[in-house]
Structure 1
Amino acid sequence: MRLYPRVESALMQKLQLRNGITTPLALEVGAYPVSDWYQRLEGRSQTNFGASVSAAGIRTKVLNDKYKSRTGTMINDIFDAKEAKASSISQDALTKIASEEQIKQITEMVEAELNAGGLGIGVPVGYMSKATTTTETKEWQRLAGQFGVSTYLHGRFSSELPPTSGMLGIEEMLSGVGVYGGGLLVQHMHQQTLNETPEALKLLDDARAKGMTVMAEIYPYNYGATIAAADYLVPENYQRNMARDYSDIIEAATMKPLTKERYEYLLENDPGASVMFYGATNEDLKLALAHESTIVGSDAFPLMKPNGMMAYSWKTPYEGLQGHPRAAGTQAKVLKMVREDNLMPLMTAISKMSYMPAKFLQDNGVEQMSHKGRIQVGADADITLFDPNTVTDNSTLEEPGLPSTDIPYGVVNGTVVVEDSKVLEGVYPGQAIRNTAVRN
């Protein structure tokens, strides 16, 4: 079992299975409406699947009543031109302050979606940093404590300098954990805390020592993927507080570094354009990845075709796609780093991609995960076979869709889905993962 990339696309499921993933979960942004998202995958999924409640999706709906998702996730609605038009999605959630009455409505809707089975609450406040109030984030953590689930955080700030330190974004939610309970998973923390990463790791370690259920997720790249209009890419933050420049941002459609002129053009004409950006140093990345309490995730967006449409179809060729290589290579890259860089013991790396995330979810209201991430009598037969001496990620910035190699077999719920490094067509053993939380 491996966790955290996107799950809706049949092509993405193929790439995930080739990478050893049997249980991808959509946690940071999540799904809304939750029931619609699950219904789309029931009986049609090659992997297990699950999603958190999308606070951002609900916020979008409350601030723009015209918004109606057909996909159940605002990620697809933003990146797919056809769905963007059909759903009437807007930038309102990223830019508008909610009124007291709207905050009450958002909170009530998040609670209803938890009752529908969402795996906690997705809190990508880093994309709504100037719009989402601390009153809202406090309410989301309160609900997490009430239901015994976790929040999944992309922190408010990506910065290593005051007044917007990446540490502050973590402390915002951590204070709610201390008051209300519930868990907190900080997604790809190294890309938010940058050179403050060692202190951020210690902060979470100290919080656990105080009995808090908190953890950080790391992906094995020092560059991420996002949209041109992401809050943290504005020059006053990206250049001053992240110590980067326009040329450290790469436009996915052209694979060219941005200039000031091109960045401003995208903001004006195509704010949802897919870009990749450099953040943490390699040193901070490796430190975070090897830290004893962190887990591995991919934070992967769906890959795109050259025509700007999402690559959904199972038969889509692996070559010629656009996006971040983490979509196809995260887990194999970690295993290769273990072999080549002596980053950590092999069994530690396997635990970071299986038992540790499963146990975190188990401890945060997802009882099904007590049967995953481990091989023992009574556990679910979600099994990956790989060769530790040769397993390799092949995805690159230029060819992000190339599948990993030397992961020849994959079993989901006792059914072989990958055989001799080929994903079997028409085999759908994937089961839904939902919360089983009891309100306190």
Structure 2
Amino acid sequence: MKQHSEQYDIIITNGRVIDPETGLDAVRNVGINGEKIAAVTQDPIQGKETIDAKGHVVCPGFIDMHFHNTGYAFGQKLALRDGVTTPMELEFGIYPVKPWYEAMAGKSRTNYGASVGSIPIRETIFNPDLDEQYHGYFILDVLHPDKTKTTMKWSKEHATSEQIVQFERMMEEGLQQGSVGVGHAAGYMVDGCSQQEAMIVQKMAGKYGQSSFVHARFSSQMPPTSGLLAFFEMMAPQEVYGGGIVFQHASAQALRDTIPALELFDAAREKGIQVIGEIYPYDYGASIVGADYLVPDNYGPNMGRDYKDIIVISDLEPLTKERYDEIMKTAPLTPAMFYNAQEEDVVKGLAHPSSVVGSDAFAYTDRKTGEIALDWDTPFDSVNGHPRGAGTHARILSWTRERKLDIPLSLAVSKMTYMIAKYLEDNGVPQMADKGRIQEGKDADITIFDPETVQDNATMQDGGLPSSGIPYVLVNGTVMVRNSETVDDVFPGKPIHGTGKIA
């Protein structure tokens, strides 16, 4: 064997390296210099720091396109413990774009990115009293209405022709400032957002050679407002204007039609149309009580659920009709969890060869105060929230080990890394060509896990418990999880941007 004379900054030895792009799945040594992978070899190598990965998988850091908690410390801490190196807020989106990226610069423990969102744009247009406090990070503005004066106008108001023009202009401005595509959560504004606005979303994505990231208008398996019809709403203008579409948490919209939906997307890609479905490994989601798809006329007959299937996050109590009516009158932005697709359909969707994984990580609340948990030092066991924000990726790996998700481990890894990076690379995010791979010259975003013990630990009752069996995570060549403990006061995260240029 050849002995490498170069001394690397960090070496990872004896690990089972999985690189989905090349198909490599073998024991290798990995050398890292600075922010890049400098060697992937069978030969012995030397380094200033050694990580012995014997018995572990060494794979690209996980990429999450659907992570609402990416903009603050506690969310990033949970992401890192779940192996995620690049969490992004691409569904709900942000506005304005430039201040959010500026506020994150030099302060992020993970890589970060965001779309320009139709929801924050609509609220900015309709609500002159909006006093945004989080540099365009509208998901936090919504969760602090007393402070920010946010309303539900973004959900219910109909835009005038002049406001439609303003909507398009603001969206284009966000793309020009480097957003990662366009976020369009129509499912939160079923009766407010017009088809014309949906068309503009895809028109702008196509114009800039990027993707839309869509929470489709309907969550239903019944006509006339089925999840499939909601997918058609975006795919029709896509055929005209181009651009990609990611249908996020697709199983929560399509429900028992999840496989027919994924097969539709496959057929579209065979014709060169860029569309993929993203799924999380849970049969319940998280949102606000006031979400349009949770209104009784939809949630009951169209999703096959009842009030008791909606659980308020702050106290983990199921709703009754009386409490639902009261919350809708007084606090419709109250965070809640709710059952949606059947687990059988979720598992089938995840096993489909072309689906990818996204967590839809949502805000956690302090159990004692009810406040949103933002700080790095927040105890994991002190919060309520959906477990997907802490355990999605480890859950995929444990389901794969247990054969509940009957796919090769390499495919499970690819669904969380390369397949996402390649899609984004092909849709206006050139930085992603250096992510999702374990190859020389690529970014040293690396996750190391034990395939025999990796496990999600978060539950509906303890939603913030971190994953285990992921002892090391590196972000741009910096160790951010060491011996299963997160590293504080180091900020190697880099911004992920779209090109900002017309395609």
d(CA) in 1 for partners of 2:438 and 2:187? 37
Task: State the aligned residue count.
Answer: 437
Deviations 1:241-262 (A, max 9, x none): 1111111111112212111111
d(CA) in 2 for partners of 1:125 and 1:379? 36
User: Secondary structure in 2 aligned to 1:351?
Assistant: helix
What's the counterpart of residue 141 of structure 2?
A: 77
Deviations 1:7-34 (A, max 9, x none): 1121111111000000001000011111
Pairing 1:328–2:390 present: yes
Pairing 1:378–2:463 present: no
Query: Aligned-pair RMSD on alpha carbons?
Result: 0.9
1:365 CA displacement: 0.4
User: Secondary structure in 2 aligned to 1:312?
Assistant: coil
What's the counterpart of residue 119 of structure 1?
A: 180
Give the structure-2-normalised TM-score.
Answer: 0.86
Pairing 1:31–2:117 present: no
Pairing 1:266–2:327 present: yes
Partners of 2:350 and 2:405 within 8 A in 1 = no
What's the counterpart of residue 125 of structure 2?
A: 62
1:74 CA displacement: 1.7
Seq. identity, %:
47
d(CA) in 1 for partners of 2:222 and 2:265? 19
d(CA) in 2 for partners of 1:383 and 1:194? 33
1:380 CA displacement: 0.3
Deviations 1:320-375 (A, max 9, x none): 20110001000000001001125211000000000001111101100000000001
Pick the aligned partner of 1:304 from 365, 380, 386.
365
User: Secondary structure in 2 aligned to 1:384?
Assistant: strand
d(CA) in 2 for partners of 1:68 and 1:178? 38
What's the counterpart of residue 292 of structure 1?
A: 353
What's the counterpart of residue 44 of structure 2?
A: none
User: Secondary structure in 1 aligned to 2:115?
Assistant: strand
d(CA) in 2 for partners of 1:28 and 1:265? 29
Q: Structure 1 stretch 342-351 or stretch 357-366: which is displaced more?
A: 342-351
Partners of 2:311 and 2:338 within 8 A in 1 = yes
Partners of 2:74 and 2:377 within 8 A in 1 = yes
User: Secondary structure in 2 aligned to 1:240?
Assistant: coil
1:86 CA displacement: 3.0
Pairing 1:280–2:280 present: no
User: Secondary structure in 2 aligned to 1:48?
Assistant: coil
d(CA) in 1 for partners of 2:348 and 2:289? 28
d(CA) in 2 for partners of 1:129 and 1:201? 23
d(CA) in 2 for partners of 1:427 and 1:178? 44
Deviations 1:108-151 (A, max 9, x none): 00000100000000000000010000001101101110000000
d(CA) in 2 for partners of 1:263 and 1:66? 27
Amino acid aligned to 2:284: Y
Moved >4 Å (runs of 4+): none
What's the counterpart of residue 337 of structure 1?
A: 399
1:437 CA displacement: 4.7
1:425 CA displacement: 1.0
What's the counterpart of residue 28 of structure 2?
A: none
What's the counterpart of residue 266 of structure 2?
A: 205
User: Secondary structure in 2 aligned to 1:24?
Assistant: strand
Unaligned runs of 5+ in 1: none
Deviations 1:166-210 (A, max 9, x none): 101111001111110000000000000111112111111111111
What's the counterpart of residue 315 of structure 1?
A: 377
What's the counterpart of residue 418 of structure 2?
A: 355
Deviations 1:383-419 (A, max 9, x none): 0000011000000011111000010001110111111
What's the counterpart of residue 465 of structure 2?
A: 402
d(CA) in 2 for partners of 1:47 and 1:280? 31
Q: How does 1:173-252 map to 2 (within 5 A)?
A: 173-252=234-313
Partners of 2:383 and 2:462 within 8 A in 1 = yes
Give the structure-1-normalised TM-score.
Answer: 0.98
| Higher relative helix content | 1
What's the counterpart of residue 392 of structure 1?
A: 455
d(CA) in 1 for partners of 2:166 and 2:488? 43
What's the counterpart of residue 171 of structure 1?
A: 232
| Higher relative strand content | 2
